[in-house]
Structure 1
Amino acid sequence: MTLLIFFMFISGIYVFCSSRTHLLITFFSLEYLVLVLFLLFFNFLILFKVELYYILIFLVFSVCEGSLGLAVLVNMIRSHGNDQLSSLSILSW
């Protein structure tokens, strides 16, 4: 199970580092990494028989992070017209 979670985390990091065109793909890879961390955190808490209220706090913060990311993405699409990172360059006046 640990090897599978490690492979999932490495694949999420690879997608995050390789996506350089669209901001939405980068956002999806960050959300995927949050889900992998949730799975790892859940397994850690089950293994050591700790209260699972910490998972609820983690989920609340990850949902807030996701909604804030979507709000920033929608605001950027409304102001720039697309979600490509090349449109954010200051030098392309």
Structure 2
Amino acid sequence: MVINNVLIFFSMFLIGILVFCLKCKHLLLMLLSLEFIMLSLFFGLQVSLTYYYYETNFSMVFLTMSVCEGSLGLSILVLMVRSYGNDYFQSFNILW
């Protein structure tokens, strides 16, 4: 049972990293893949904490930080779309 959950966690994490590396043109897709990576890390954290019978209070702190990271990324995305009109990385002159 635990081995299956760890295998699911690693496959979710690797798929998230793969999508993050392949879809580097759009900022929105990169943010979505980062949120998927955070979700897989939360799943792995839950599996490890329940397997070792630790308290799961840290998971609430982790969720709070990941929500703050997501809202910050979304606000940056909205700011860039309003300034430049799209979310393509190649069209930003600031990054080059």
TM-score interval, normalised by the smaller of the two chains: over 0.9
Moved over 3 A (4+): 89-92
SS at match of 2:86: coil
Structure 1 residue 73 and structure 2 residue 77: aligned? yes
Structure 1: gaps spanning 5 or more residues: none
TM-score by length of 1: 0.92
CA offsets per residue over residues 71-93 of structure 1, 9 Å max, x none?
0000010001100111113598x
TM-score by length of 2: 0.90
Give the counterpart letter for 1:84 in structure 2. Answer: Y
Same amino acid, percent of matched pairs: 46
Taking only aligned residues, the RMSD between alpha carbons, in angstroms, comes to 1.5
Report how many aligned residue pairs link the two structures: 92
Out of 9, 12, 15, the position equivalent to 1:5 is 9
2:6–2:47: 8 Å Cα contact kept in structure 1?
Answer: no
Give the counterpart letter for 2:36 in structure 1. Answer: Y
2:9–2:44: 8 Å Cα contact kept in structure 1?
Answer: yes
Structure 2: gaps spanning 5 or more residues: none
CA offsets per residue over residues 51-87 of structure 1, 9 Å max, x none?
1110110011001000000000000100011001111
